Structure 1
Amino acid sequence: MEIIIDRKEFQKISLEFRRLSSRLLRTNLDDGMGNLKRLLNFIENTPLIFDFILENNIEKYNIKDEISKRKLSCGYNIPINKSEEIAYVYQLLKYCTENCRDYSSICMGYSSSRMLQDHIDSFNNRVVNAFISHIEVYLKERLIDMGETGKLNVIVNGGQVAIANDNSTVNATQNNNYNQTENLNSLIEELINLINSLDLNSEEKEETKEIITAAMEEVESDKPKKSIIKYAIEKIEYVGKLGVGITGLFTTSQKIIEILSNVIK
């Protein structure tokens, strides 16, 4: 089976990966396992990313023994080699989702604190963040590979995934939803202009605009991804509250939130 990924779809995948990664990296004690499962589920159901994991997941580790034999004061003996590090951390996280009662079970030993949350934060910073960074670099490389065509050809065959530059003649199917609210586009354009007036750094402004634009594209599709729209709603609620004194920001935000909420009902 061949899947053609264009630049817009690629950006949506990258955005969703960043959202779920951030959610895990900032997770609290109670939500750790749920946020870990969300991230791994997305990775394993996204051929573009899972190809990278399969490509590196060659060396097999006895994670059960690794956990039981580790020295709590030293953490895990994570390989230095890039491919082996990716395999080790992926297998560790996967083992946790299938065998551990809670996320903190694999995080202990990464802090001298008595607070479990401190161990989770340190584990995320030292172990999970490196794993995520490898994937982010890979995605940036694939974005470069798109070149002028702006497309990637993903081949899925029996659980194996291969990615090549899209020079094939396979036609991608574009689905559009023409039943969306007519004024949503103008409202989003208005909101994006208002965001420029907020006291936010340029990176946060651009990320917020990107998320809102991605949500708009989802509304226009036949099968909107609710996770992206929900994330956009969270961001819009956030910027709406920041806009005290900026005429129209709160009102425009609420109108967009109402429309997006109706889409995902």
Structure 2
Amino acid sequence: IPDLKLLDLFYRSCWVCFATDEDDRTAEWVRPCRCRGSTKWVHQACLQRWVDEKQRGNSTARVACPQCNAEYLIVFPKLGPVVYVLDLADRLISKACPFAAAGIMVGSIYWTAVTYGAVTVMQVVGHKEGLDVMERADPLFLLIGLPTIPVMLILGKMIRWEDYVLRLWRKYSNKLQILNSIFPGIGCPVPRIPAEANPLADHVSATRILCGALVFPTIATIVGKLMFSSVNSNLQRTILGGIAFVAIKGAFKVYFKQQQYLRQAHRKILNYPEQEEA
């Protein structure tokens, strides 16, 4: 057995660079795992480089042998008291930074929503009236109520009532002939039912919902001033403008989606054109 151990030492081969003792007699060798045979020995320098690649900058990450899955025993020189305190502070900061960043992001979104809610109140009710309402209101109510305004607008925008109306009209359009004169093609039979895309399937539709919801109070105010200028109350005028905008936009959207539906339902795939032989 001693002869075998001596023979093993003389014929060591690094499994990283495949060099032997004859190639570099000054290299430091190590057997870091349970492997036997050709993967038992490895250069200390080669294994250090390989561990660096696996750790990817995280010196505390655990690394195991790719063959026997034994974890490498990695030790570091003892640190001085100053370096130990600095290393401990660095680790604490590294662990706390993700939570701090998440808190800052949530806080930024919250105060942005509060600001948007306050601006919306002044825009809908009127600048002076809105300021008076918020000054008289309870601060806690404002901190809770104002951020819910953009949330409710976004949730309301996600309700696609036009699709439900369009489905009902397609189902009962034969009984209501007046719908065919308003929206041509609703009651016509179609050769096939086309597949409809999910409105939230892509990020573009999500951004449209977000932008449409946040711009809606401004549009409602403008439409209210244009169509209901005789109404004295800013709140009533804005509400009427919002209702009118939603109704008009919904009617155009129903017509547009129906035409797209018919176009998809009546599409055809042509035969491949045969090339004439020369």
TM-score relative to the length of structure 1: 0.21
* Greater strand fraction, Structure 1 or Structure 2: 1
**Looking at CA atoms only, which structure, 1 or 2, has the larger radius of gyration?**
2
Higher relative CO (Cα under 8 Å, sequence separation at least 6) belongs to: 1
